Amino acid sequence: MASWGLLVRRIPLTVALLALVVLLSLLTGSLWDPLLARPLGEVVTYGLPSLLAGHWWSVLTGAFFAAIPVQYLPILVGLAIFGGFSEWRLGTARAAVALLVAHVTGVLGASALLAVTRDHGYLWTTQLAQVRDAGPSAGFLGAAAAASVTLEPPWRGRLRAALAAYVLLFVIDMGSLADLEHVIAVGAGLLLGPYLVGRRPRFTRRALTRRDFRLLACCFFVVAALEGLIQPFTAADGPLAATLSSERRAEELANRAFLAGLIQAVVWLWFARSLYKGRRRAWRWATGLLWVVITVQLLGVIFIVIVGEPGVLALLYEVVGNAFGLGVLLVGRHAFRNPSPRRARRTHGSLVAPATEQQRQVATALLQQEGTVNRLAWMTTWPENRWFESHRDAGYVAYRVHAGVAIGLCDPVASRSEARADLLGSFADAVRKAGLVPCLFTVTAEASRHARAQGWHSLQVAEEAVIDLPGLTFTGKAWQDVRTALNQASKLGITLRLGPLADAPRGIQLQVQAISAAWVEDKGLPEMGFTLGGVDEALDPHVHVGVAVDPESTVHGVTSWMPIYDVGGGSPVGWTLDVMRRLPGGFRYSMEFLISSACTSFREAGCRVVSLSGAPLARSTGTSRDEGLDRGTLDAFLDRLGGALEPYYGFRSLHAFKAKFQPRLEPLYLVFPDEADLPRIGLALSRAYLPDAGVRDFLTLARSGRGS
Distance, CA of 75 to CA of 79 (rounded, Å)? 6
- Collapse the DSSP code of 129 into the 3-class scheme (helix H, G, I; strand E, B; otherwise coil) and give the result: coil
Residue 497 lies in a domain: no
**How many helices (H) and strands (E) are present in the chain, helices listed first?**
29, 11
How far apart (Å, rounded) are the C-alpha atoms in residues 562 and 613?
A: 10
- Domain check: are 190 and 238 in the same one? no
99 shares its domain with 242: no
Q: What are phi and psi of 442, to 5 degrees?
A: 55, 55
Compute and round to an integer the Cα radius of gyration of the chain. Answer: 31
CA–CA dist 400, 549 (Å, integer): 37
* pLDDT at site 45: 92
CA distance 381 to 384: 9
The three-state secondary structure class of 176 is coil
Flag whether 111 is in a domain.
Answer: yes
Domain that holds residue 248: 219-335
Domain-ending residue, one of 158, 178, 204: 204
Say how far apart CA 146 and CA 354 lie, in whole Å: 45
Write down the pLDDT at residue 98.
96
DSSP 8-state assignment for residue 81? I
CA distance 577 to 566: 16
Assign 30 to helix, strand or coil: coil
Which of 400, 412, 402, 331 shows the shortest CA–CA distance to 372?
Answer: 412
Task: Tell whether pTM > 0.85.
Answer: no
**By the 8 A CB rule, do 45 and 35 touch?**
yes
| Structural domain includes residue 307 | yes
Number of domains in the chain: 2
β-strand pairing of 405-413 with 437-443: parallel
Whether residue 97 is contained in a domain is answered as yes
> Do 543 and 501 touch, CB atoms closer than 8 A?
yes
* Residues 325, 238: Cα–Cα separation, whole Å: 23
Whether residues 316 and 178 share a domain: the answer is no
Q: Are residues 148 and 239 in the same domain?
A: no
Domain-located, residue 576: no
What value, to the nearest 5°, has the Cα angle with vertex 176 and ends 175 and 178? 125
| CA separation for the pair 609, 199 (Å, rounded) | 48
Task: Assign 600 to helix, strand or coil.
Answer: helix
* 130 and 178 within one domain: yes
Phi, psi angles (nearest 5°) of residue 409: -110, 120
User: Which of 335, 361, 383 is a domain's end point?
Assistant: 335
Alpha helices in 308-416 (DSSP H): 312-331, 341-346, 357-370
Alpha carbon distance 51, 54 (integer Å): 5
Q: Please give the single-letter amino acid code of residue 45.
A: T
CB 595 within 8 A of CB 559: yes
CA atoms of 309 and 114, how far apart (whole Å): 25
Q: Are the CB atoms for 519 and 532 separated by under 8 Å?
A: no
pLDDT value of residue 527 = 59
Residues with Cβ within 8 Å of residue 630, at least 6 apart in sequence: none
Domain co-membership, 41 together with 147: yes
CA atoms within 13 A on the CB side of 538: 26
| Confidence at residue 461, expressed as pLDDT on a 0 to 100 scale | 83
Neighbours of 335 (CB within 10 A): 23
CB-based contacts of 247, cutoff 8 Å, min separation 6: none
Kindly state whether residues 250 and 156 are assigned to the same domain.
Answer: no
Q: What are the per-10-residue average pLDDT scores of the chain (708 residues)?
A: 67 92 93 88 91 92 92 94 94 95 95 89 84 93 94 79 87 86 95 90 69 83 81 61 46 55 84 83 91 89 76 76 91 74 52 79 92 93 89 88 90 93 91 84 94 90 90 88 93 94 89 80 59 81 94 93 91 92 89 94 94 66 42 52 49 71 91 82 80 53 45
Domain assignment present for 600: no
In a domain, 567, yes or no: no
Torsion of CA 658, 660, 666, 669, to 10 degrees: 20
For position 648, what pLDDT does the model report? 44
Query: What per-residue confidence (pLDDT) applies to 491?
Result: 94
Contacts of residue 265, defined as CB under 8 A and 6 or more positions apart, other chains included, come to 225, 226, 228, 229
The three-state secondary structure class of 645 is helix
- Name the strand (E) or helix (H) holding 73: helix 72-78
List residues bridging with 332 in a β-sheet.
Answer: none
- Could you give the C-alpha distances from 336 to 268, 272, 347, 405, 534, in angstroms and in order? 17, 12, 18, 21, 21
- Measured CA to CA, the distance from residue 414 to residue 450 in angstroms comes to 14
* Residues 90 and 194 grouped into a single domain: yes
Whether residues 150 and 284 share a domain: the answer is no
Residues of the chain with pLDDT > 70, as a percent, come to 81
Residues 46 and 147 in one domain: yes
Angle between helix 137-147 and helix 177-196 axes, rounded to 10 deg: 30
Give the dihedral of Cα atoms 207, 211, 217, 221; nearest 10 deg. -140
Q: What are phi and psi of 674, to 5 degrees?
A: -140, 130
One-letter identity of residue 81: I
Residue ending a domain, choose from 309, 335, 361 = 335
Q: Are residues 174 and 82 in the same domain?
A: yes
Q: How far apart are CA 318 and CA 308, in angstroms?
A: 19
φ, ψ at 695 (rounded to 5°): -60, -40
Nearest to 97 by CA among 149, 142, 158, 133: 142
User: Is the CA virtual torsion 94, 99, 104, 105 positive or negative?
Assistant: positive
Quick one: 271 and 195 in the same domain? no
DSSP code of residue 440? E
For 161, 225, 229, the CA distances from 218, given in Å and listed in that order, are: 14, 11, 17
Q: Are 168 and 180 in contact (CB under 8 A)?
A: no
Question: How far does Cα 111 stand from its chain's mean position?
Answer: 38
CA-based nearest residue to 553, from 510, 584, 612: 510
Q: Which CATH number characterizes residue 164's domain?
A: 1.20.1540
48 SS3 class? helix
Q: Identify residue 307 by its one-letter amino acid code.
A: V
**Other beta carbons within 10 Å of 411:** 31
Residue 703: inside a domain, yes or no?
no
Q: How far apart are CA 416 and CA 370, in angstroms?
A: 8
